[in-house]
Amino acid sequence: MNNFVSMKAITADEIMYLLKQTDRFAEGELPKQEKDKKRFITNLFYEPSTRTKLSFEVAERKLGFEVIDFQVDYSSVRKGESVYDTAKTVISIGAEAIVIRHSLDNAVQKLAEQLDVPVINAGDGAGEHPTQSLLDIYTMYKEFGDLKGLNVLIVGDIIHSRVARSNAYALRTLGANVYLSSKPEWQDDRLDFPYVELDEAIEMCDVVMLLRIQSERHDQPKVVEANEYLNKYGLTIEREKRMKQNAIIMHPAPVNRDIEIDDQLVECKRSRIFKQMEYGVYARMAVLDYLLNKEGQENGDNYQTMYAHVNSY
Ligand code: NCD
C-alpha cells in the first residue's frame, strides 16, 4: 500500500493493522522522530472541510510534520492551475505526501497514479472517503471488538455519499453485515448490499450510521422539509427507543440537526458522533505513519509484533 485512496481493495489484515496502530496512537504512543530534520506535508482541500482538514493537521503535527499551508482561494488554482501542477509544485518545494479532497470522483485516484509520493484521499466527490471509514470502523471496533457478524445500518443519501461507499466496502471485508436504507431516489445500484426499511431494521442493528444530505451534489437541490424527512427517513426519538440495548449511533458530520437525526439524540448516550471526531486524529496518524515511516517500521520490532498479530486475525 503506497497510497490510501480507497477501501475497496484493502485487505482485512491491512485494516486490522491500521486499527491496532490507531489504538497505539490513541494511547499516546508516538513514533521516533529524527531531531533537527524537518519534514513537510500538504493538505490540498478543494472542497470545504472542518473535521477532516483540522484532524489531518493535528495528526501531522503530532507525528512531527510541518504542515505547508494551502488555501485554494488564495492559490494559483484561481489562475487556472491544474491539480497535477499544484501537487507537483508542493512536492518540488518539499512535501513528502499529499492529502487531498476534491469534488470530482476519481480525481484523487488519478493523481495517485501520476505522483511518486503517497497520496491520501480526504474525500473525492461522491467517490470514497477512506480515512473517515477507518475512523468509523475504529469506533465500532472500540465498542464491539470483532466486527464479524456485526449488523451495520447506513441510512440516508447513499448515492451521493463517499462515506457510505468506503464503509460498505471495508465493513464487508471485515465480515460485518451491511444494510442500506434511503429514499428510493437516493439508492445506489452500484452498491451490492441489501436495502431495508428503516422501521423494520432499526431493532436488529448494532450500529445506525446516519449520513448528511449531500445537497451540494444534487442536480436540483430541493428544500428539505425538516419534519417530513426526519419522520420518514431520519432517526427520531421514537426509533431510537426501539434500538438494541447496546446499539450505537454514528454520523460523519456535519449534522443537519432535526433533519437526519433529532437534535436531542446528537449528544445522547448512544451517540458516538463526537468520539468519531476524536478518533479521526489517531486513525489519520496511523495512515500517515504507515505510508511515511514504513522503512523504520519494517525493520523495527514493533512492526514485526504488530504484523504477526494482524496476521493471526
Ligand atoms: C463527510 C464528507 O465530507 O464526506 N464529512 C466528513 O468528512 N466528516 C460527510 C459529509 O460532509 O456529509
Q: Which three cell numbers stand for residue 278?
A: 476524536
CA of 95 to the centre of ligand 1 (A): 25
CB 240 within 8 A of CB 249: yes
Q: Is the CB of 251 under 6 A from ligand 1?
A: no
| Contacts with 121 (C-beta within 8 Å, 6 or more apart), sequence order | 3, 4, 5, 6, 100, 101, 108, 109, 112, 127, 128, 129, 130, 131
Q: Is the CB of 132 under 6 A from ligand 1?
A: yes
Q: Averaged over 156-166, what is the pLDDT?
A: 98
Q: Is the CB of 250 under 6 A from ligand 1?
A: no
Q: Is the CB of 253 under 6 A from ligand 1?
A: yes
Atom of ligand 1 nearest to the CA of 253: 8
Please determine, for residue 193, whether its predicted confidence score (pLDDT) is greater than 60.
yes
CA of 205 to the centre of ligand 1 (A): 23
- Please report the pLDDT score of residue 221 as a whole number: 74
| DSSP H/E element including 270 | none
Q: How far does Cα 305 stand from its chain's mean position?
A: 26
For the chain, what's the residue count? 313
Report residue 87's pLDDT band, with 50, 70 and 90 as the boundaries: very high
pLDDT, greater one: 83 or 225: 83
- Please report the pLDDT score of residue 225 as a whole number: 76
CA of 298 to the centre of ligand 1 (A): 33
- Please report the pLDDT score of residue 295 as a whole number: 65
- Please report the pLDDT score of residue 220 as a whole number: 82
Instruction: Round the CA-based radius of gyration of the chain to a whole number and report it.
Output: 20
CA of 229 to the centre of ligand 1 (A): 19
Q: Which residues pair with 207 in a beta bridge?
A: 152, 248
Q: Is the CB of 165 under 6 A from ligand 1?
A: no
Nearest CA to ligand 1 atom 12: 212
Please determine, for residue 32, whether its predicted confidence score (pLDDT) is greater than 90.
no
Atom of ligand 1 nearest to the CA of 211: 12
| DSSP H/E element including 16 | helix 12-26
- Please report the pLDDT score of residue 306 as a whole number: 42
pLDDT tens by residue, 240-288: 999 999 999 999 999 999 999 999 999 999 999 999 999 999 999 999 9
Taking the C-alpha atoms of residue 181 and residue 157, their distance in angstroms, rounded to an integer, is 9
Percent of the chain with pLDDT over 90: 88
Q: Where are the beta strands (DSSP E) in 40-88?
A: 40-45, 66-68
- Please report the pLDDT score of residue 297 as a whole number: 58
Q: Averaged over 139-167, what is the pLDDT?
A: 98
- Please report the pLDDT score of residue 294 as a whole number: 78
- Please report the pLDDT score of residue 124 as a whole number: 97
Please determine, for residue 302, whether its predicted confidence score (pLDDT) is greater than 70.
no
Atom of ligand 1 nearest to the CA of 122: 7
Report residue 298's pLDDT band, with 50, 70 and 90 as the boundaries: low
CA of 254 to the centre of ligand 1 (A): 7
Atom of ligand 1 nearest to the CA of 163: 4
Q: Averaged over 116-120, what is the pLDDT?
A: 97
**What is the pTM (predicted TM-score) of this model?**
0.94
Handedness of CA 207, 255, 190, 173 (dihedral sign): negative
